[in-house]
Amino acid sequence: MESMEMRDKMRIVQELVPGRQITLAHVIANPDPILYQKMGLDPKLDYQRAAIGVLTISPAETAVITADIALKASGAELGFVDRFSGTLIITGTVDEVEASFEAITTYFKNTLKFSVCDVTRT
């Protein structure tokens, strides 16, 4: 017999519906060196000028395009790209990471007509 407590619990199923959107574009300015180590990134930059950029996009396969744009737009370096989750991580100076994100968001908004979030920064 089912208890009263079990009947009152709601089950929620979440699904990712690929939507033509950039859902996160965040610049971490002057990250602590331990963050590079924990993420498996190369911390060769001067930490006072360094930045990490994190971006998520759907459909996930378009992360490959974001990586291409990021590398062509500035001197930023590719930290990680995943065509299955839609994640892009880049490193470089704050200016390089911001320039890459500006180029990505402009292209996806104006050319591919994606919904694009604001670029945030900490």
Q: Is residue 92 within 8 Å of residue 49, measured between CB atoms? A: no
Domain that holds residue 98: 33-121
Q: What is the pTM of this model?
A: 0.80
Within a domain: residue 116?
yes
Of 11 and 46, the structure prediction assigns the larger pLDDT to 11
- Domain with 113 in it: what CATH number? 3.30.70.1710
Within a domain: residue 54?
yes
Return the half-sphere exposure (C-beta side, CA atoms, 13 A cut-off) of residue 61.
Answer: 1
Amino acid 43: pLDDT: 67
Amino acid 19: pLDDT: 84
